[in-house]
Chain A
Amino acid sequence: DAMVIQNPRYQVTQFGKPVTLSCSQTLNHNVMYWYQQKSSQAPKLLFHYYDKDFNNEADTPDNFQSRRPNTSFCFLDIRSPGLGDAAMYLCATSRARLPGPANSPLHFGNGTRLTVT
């Protein structure tokens, strides 16, 4: 089955220690997104790639970076994790740039839960 796979499912890192989360997709979608979801909150968009075109949200801290080496893979790098960065990180894909009506819905992975100690 075509899908969005996130690894690892659970990640523990120390305060200030860089960490990388990975996402892969077999859907061959053009767009890949990274969302941060804190407990009992809505997903918050951090940034997205349309092919190789990187689009950062205005309020995403500089501490968060991303790489997309090819269509299938996308990485989220947190350079110096703080306690406030503990969250579920969700990767999503869509066929086109815009979540347009029924043509390009978001497909989410099951997330990586990040704990910062």
Chain B
Amino acid sequence: QQQVKQSPQSLIVQKGGISIINCAYENTAFDYFPWYQQFPGKGPALLIAIRPDVSEKKEGRFTISFNKSAKQFSLHIMDSQPGDSATYFCAASMVTDKLIFGTGTRLQVFP
């Protein structure tokens, strides 16, 4: 119940395309869903986060879509750029507990 399942494991997208990464969870008590971006040799950095009281949050080219009934959330990267090539981790937590990370998606954007 504490798992966050992430897919796909790797993703190759052409420059200008849309990258979509999906996550699913079981624990309905989770109420915070962040996405972290990690470049090689660097620590993860918070990219965008959402609470379950909204269905979508957009920051620039990055959008989180949240489906509470399906217990799923996804990250959409519009107009993907080579500089977006990184590993993306979804995560979830309850207010009273630690972050549970997904297994990560390695995104490669080719020119």
Contacts and interface: CB of A to CB of B under 8 A. Distances in A.
Interface residues of B, number: 24
A99 B32 contact: yes
Contact of A4 (B34, B41, B43, B102): B43
A81 interface: no
Interface in A36-60: 40-43, 45, 48
Given A41-B103, A42-B89, A43-B101, A102 B42 contact: no
Contacts, number: 53
A90 interface: yes
Interface stretch (B45-53, B62-70, B71-79): B45-53
A40 B89 CA distance: 11
Interface string B93-106: 10111110111101
Contacts of A102: 49
Interface stretch (A14-22, A66-74, A105-113): A105-113
A41 B89 CA distance: 10
B13 to A, nearest CB: 19
Nearest to B45: A108
A100 interface: yes
B75 to A, nearest CB: 15
A101 B43 contact: no
Given A41-B104, A42-B89, A106 B99 contact: yes
Given A100-B32, A105-B49, A45 B98 contact: yes
A98 interface: yes
B68 to A, nearest CB: 15
A61 B88 CA distance: 27
Nearest to B87: A40
Given A41-B104, A45-B99, A111-B43, 18 more contacts: A4-B43, A40-B106, A42-B102, A43-B44, A43-B101, A45-B98, A48-B98, A90-B43, A98-B95, A98-B97, A99-B34, A101-B49, A106-B36, A107-B46, A108-B43, A109-B43, A110-B42, A111-B42
Interface of A: 4, 40-43, 45, 48, 90, 92, 98-102, 105-111
